[in-house]
Amino acid sequence: MLKIYWHTVDIVIYVVLSLFFLLIYLTIYFKAMIDKICYNFFSMMDDICEWVAKKIAGPRCKCKKKK
């Protein structure tokens, strides 16, 4: 019984450490891709918010302040 317990603990530790290593490796490897995906997502959200603002309040004023 005790031997099965330690084998189970050993396997769980190896799996957790393997997943942790894989997560770190993928994060480093795909960092540029993840940044690009986040940038595109937030850019799309900004465009949607701007579209909603234009529908609610109308287009922004393009006039300049005169001195």
Q: Which pLDDT does position 65 carry in this prediction? A: 66
pLDDT at residue 66, as a whole number: 62
What is d(CA 27, CA 20) in angstroms, rounded to the nearest whole number? 11
In a domain, 13, yes or no: yes
Domain-located, residue 65: no
pLDDT tens digits, residue range 14-67?
Answer: 999 999 999 988 888 777 777 788 889 999 999 999 888 888 887 777 777 666
The reply to whether 64 falls in a domain is no
Residues 6+ apart with CB under 8 A from 54: 60
Domain carrying residue 38: 2-57
How does pLDDT run across 31-43, given as a tens digit for each residue?
777 778 888 999 9
The total domain count for the chain is 1
Please work out, in degrees rounded to the nearest 5, the angle formed at the alpha carbon of residue 53 by the alpha carbons of 52 and 54.
90
Give the position of tokens 């084998």: 7
